[in-house]
């Protein structure tokens, strides 16, 4: 578990926690989620899912949620398709299932805003790192220089180079986009684990290559306390 500014709880599951999406039955997925959330002192009823879909050509779908959205995608079907969710509400956990893509936690302490964004190849090709910052500036008057960002483990460039970015890694591209958007380098923290090489984490791309026997997703949660 990680704490940003001692008021934001960030936690990420691993293989031992089981898959949080894909490759398992809905019943098993829901039980894995419930157990993982319980470890963090969070209930499914106070959690909202970042429900990402690979469809269409827009991967900068951002929404603001509140307590009225608690449980969406967790205890009932998702009603919001999003690449990132943002909230000003405390004790509302945001959850994002990821495998090789980045889960980015964004925290604006001045305006009490928390965001959880999916930053994968599709999002980054549309400058998604800058997109989430622009949304926070417009919606919440966030100052980029006051924004804190935490980037989850992701596929490294050895096994998953981004060819549209000269073979850079997702961490490198996402960091560059955040920096260009005005986020201060010291405010960007990266969990540098490579999902394609760390066997404690699921990797969808390595599963497709036949290098991992099990497909699955880990879950990233973030919540203001």
At residue 96, does pLDDT exceed 90? yes
Counting the structural domains of the chain, the total is 1
The predicted model gives 120-137 an average pLDDT of 98
**Residue of 103, 99, 67 lying closest to 220 (CA atoms):** 103
pLDDT over threshold 60, residue 149: yes
User: What are 58-81's pLDDT values in tens digits?
Assistant: 999 999 999 999 999 999 999 999
Owning domain of residue 188: 2-224
pLDDT at 2: 60
Domain of residue 101, CATH code? 3.60.140.10
Find the helix or strand (DSSP H, E) in which 8 lies: strand 8-12
- Whole-angstrom CA distances from 218 to 14, 63, 85, 153, 209 are 6, 22, 18, 10, 19
Helix 128-140 vs helix 170-180: crossing angle, to nearest 10 = 40
User: pTM for the complete prediction?
Assistant: 0.96
What is the Cα–Cα distance from 217 to 179, expressed in whole angstroms? 28
> Model confidence over 160-190: pLDDT tens digits?
999 999 999 999 999 999 999 999 999 999 9
């Amino acid at each position: 578990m990680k704490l940003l500014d001692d008021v934001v709880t960030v936690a990420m599951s691993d293989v031992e926690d089981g898959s949080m999406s894909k490759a398992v039955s809905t019943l098993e997925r829901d039980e894995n989620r419930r157990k993982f959330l319980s470890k963090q002192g969070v209930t499914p009823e106070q959690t909202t899912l970042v429900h990402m879909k690979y469809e269409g050509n827009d991967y900068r779908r951002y929404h603001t949620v509140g307590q009225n959205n608690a449980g969406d995608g967790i205890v009932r079907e998702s009603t919001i398709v999003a690449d990132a969710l943002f909230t000003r509400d405390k004790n509302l956990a945001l959850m994002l299932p990821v495998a090789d893509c980045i889960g980015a936690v964004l925290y604006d302490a001045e305006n009490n805003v928390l965001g959880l964004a999916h930053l994968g190849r599709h999002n980054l090709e549309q400058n998604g790192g800058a997109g989430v910052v622009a949304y926070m500036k417009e919606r919440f008057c966030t100052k980029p220089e006051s924004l804190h960002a935490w980037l989850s483990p992701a596929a490294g460039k050895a096994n998953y180079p981004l060819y549209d970015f000269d073979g850079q890694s997702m961490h490198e591209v996402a960091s560059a986009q955040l920096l260009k958007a005005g986020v201060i380098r010291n405010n960007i923290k990266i969990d540098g684990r490579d999902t394609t090489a760390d066997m404690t984490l699921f990797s969808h791309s390595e599963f497709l290559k036949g290098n991992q026997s099990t497909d699955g997703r880990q879950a990233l949660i973030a919540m203001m306390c």
